[in-house]
């Protein structure tokens, strides 16, 4: 999330460009990293979709649903699955829990998105999304281990650092969003995407551990 349509569009385009570089490098050097390398493309598309929501002044519609699909069911499934694809054999067993959390959380959130109406509302310099999540605490308890925990348990220094960056970005964005002052997730997503590109580039020049 960003603080305006322009910020979302600029950030989304930049993040998507980083994603193109990630995918190109992974395809040449380490194909198993492609699911993770494609994440900046997904995040970039997410920001660009939100730019359209800003232009529409929030509300409901296909763009809002698309935003919710990426943020809710897709990310908690894509992140742990991507990490598992590149994790060293010695760490794959401990990644079973984040992956199971991701699968369960993704299934629950997919059901919620399919059966409820998602609404976007402009609140000062932030965009708020409402879907009426049942048992939100349980869903968050599954979402965080899937998206952040899987990176922290990955067993590769670059991915652990990425997990720390994602955790810091999420915490900062949540605090500022609570005050309805400004959303900084686009900046956090950009930093994390650059860190992921650096990891893909480094692993592409080193012997693969899988």
The per-residue pLDDT for range 8-21, each reduced to its tens digit, is 999 999 999 999 99
Q: What angle do CA 62, 170, 126 make, to 5 degrees?
A: 50
Arithmetic mean of pLDDT over the chain: 88
Is residue 205's pLDDT more than 70? Answer: no
Is residue 209's pLDDT more than 80? Answer: no
Is residue 64's pLDDT more than 80? Answer: yes
pLDDT number for residue 79: 96
pLDDT tens-digit series, residues 65-110: 999 999 999 999 999 999 999 998 888 899 999 999 999 999 999 9
Is residue 132's pLDDT more than 90? Answer: no
Task: Encode burial over 69-85: b for 16+ CB neighbours within 10 A, e otherwise.
Answer: bbbbbbbbbbbbbbbbb
Q: 70, 46 in Cβ contact below 8 A?
A: yes
- Percent of the chain with pLDDT strictly greater than 70: 90
pLDDT category, 183, cuts 50, 70, 90?
low
pLDDT number for residue 109: 94
pTM (global) more than 0.85:
yes
Sequence-separated (6 or more) residues with CB below 8 Å from residue 27: 34
Q: What angle do CA 105, 110, 113 make, to 5 degrees?
A: 125
Q: Please state the rounded mean pLDDT for residues 161-168.
A: 92
pLDDT number for residue 204: 66
């Amino acid at each position: 999330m960003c603080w305006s349509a322009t910020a979302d569009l600029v950030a989304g385009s930049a993040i998507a460009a980083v994603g193109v570089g990630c995918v190109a490098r992974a395809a040449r050097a380490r194909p198993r990293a492609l699911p993770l390398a494609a994440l900046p493309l997904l995040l970039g598309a997410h920001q660009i979709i939100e730019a359209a929501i800003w232009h529409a002044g929030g509300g409901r519609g296909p763009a809002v649903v698309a935003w919710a699909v990426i943020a809710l069911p897709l990310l908690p499934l894509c992140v742990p699955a991507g990490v598992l694809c590149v994790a060293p054999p010695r760490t794959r067993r401990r990644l079973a829990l984040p992956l199971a959390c991701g699968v369960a959380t993704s299934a629950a959130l997919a059901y919620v998105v399919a059966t409820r109406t998602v609404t976007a509302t402009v609140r000062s310099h932030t965009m708020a999304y409402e879907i009426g999540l049942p048992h939100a605490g349980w869903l968050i308890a599954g979402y965080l281990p899937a998206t952040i925990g899987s990176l922290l348990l990955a067993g590769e220094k670059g991915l652990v650092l990425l997990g720390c960056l994602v955790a810091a970005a999420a915490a900062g964005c949540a605090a500022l969003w609570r005050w309805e002052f400004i959303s900084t997730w686009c900046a956090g997503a950009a930093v994390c995407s650059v860190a992921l590109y650096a990891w893909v580039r480094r692993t592409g020049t080193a012997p693969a551990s899988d």
